[in-house]
Amino acid sequence: LNNVNPELNRRKLRSNEHGYIREWQAIRKVVEQGLRYEKSHPNDACGMPDWYYPNKDEALKERLADAIFYSRYPERQGEPIDPSDRAAVQEWLKLKRAMNVAYC
């Protein structure tokens, strides 16, 4: 959330900041639905499972950008961004570029 809204300066959200709250909820939904890890091998040499994330970073960034974009413009939900709408395309690209996927 802070990467796409640097003006927040990593502070906690206030209860009246409905737009930011919608964005945070949209981000959480993407993470809860799609960010998962799986066993890559039954066990490593020490007998412990070897885990990995099957998510593709670019696809995850696109899903996150979609979630934030459509939380900002709920009336556009379910409609692809028209390539001729340069402002919307630029905003979506800016959101995607601001994403930093870290698995920790």
Q: Which residues contact 7 (CB under 8 A, 6 or more apart)?
A: none
- pTM score of the predicted model: 0.70
Nearest Cα neighbor of 34 from 51, 59, 3, 52 is: 59
**pLDDT at res. 16:** 96
Tens digit of each residue's pLDDT, the chain (104 residues) = 888 888 999 899 999 999 999 999 998 998 887 665 555 556 555 665 555 555 567 888 899 999 999 999 999 998 999 999 999 999 999 999 998 766 55
**pLDDT at res. 99:** 83
**pLDDT at res. 35:** 60
